[in-house]
Amino acid sequence: METYQCLSGLTNGTYKLTAWSGHTCSQLRTDVYHHAYDVLKAQGTTADMVQVGNEINGGMLWNEGSTSNRSQLAGLLTSGHDAVRAVNSGTAVAITSPRAATSRAPAGGSTAPCPTV
C-alpha cells in the first residue's frame, strides 16, 4: 500500500507559490491539476490513497482558496481530485480539515456537509 500527499507541500503554509502569485482562480485550478497529475505520474507507482492538501483549516493557496472563498476552495480541491482520478480512477482521495466537524459557516453561508467526491 502506498499513500501519497501530492499537494501538502505545494505552498509555503497556505500561500501560493511565487510562480503562481498573479494567477486567477481559474488558472490556479489548472495549476493544481497539472501539479498533482505531474507529481503522481513522476512517482512511477500507483497510490492507494492521495490526500489533497494537508489539514486545510484555513484553506489553501490564499487568498483565492481561503475558507472565506469556499466555492473557490472547492474548485481547487476538485482540480486536485480530478488529477488523481485521471492518473488512476481507483485511487481514493482524502481531504483533511480537523476543524470541519466544529466549524460554522459565515452569516448567510451554507452549513451543509461537503459533497463526497
User: pLDDT of 38-82, one tens digit each?
Assistant: 988 988 878 888 888 777 778 888 888 888 888 998 899 999 999
Q: Of all residues in the chain, what percent carry a pLDDT higher than 90?
A: 26
Give the predicted TM-score (pTM) of the model: 0.73
| C-alpha atoms less than 13 angstroms from C-alpha of 113 in its C-beta half-sphere | 4
Contact by Cβ (8 Å): 24, 76: no
Give me 29's grid cell. 485550478
Contact by Cβ (8 Å): 66, 17: no
Considering only residues 74 and 4, tell me which one the structure prediction assigns the higher pLDDT.
74
Q: Is the pLDDT of residue 3 over 70?
A: no
Alpha helices in the chain (DSSP H): 25-43, 70-87
Q: Is the pLDDT of residue 109 over 80?
A: no
Give me 69's grid cell. 472563498
What are the residue ranges spanned by the domains of the chain? 3-94
70-87 and 25-43 helices, crossing angle to 10°: 30
Instruction: Compute the average pLDDT of residues 85-101.
Output: 80
Please report where in the chains the cell 473557490 appears, as a residue: 72
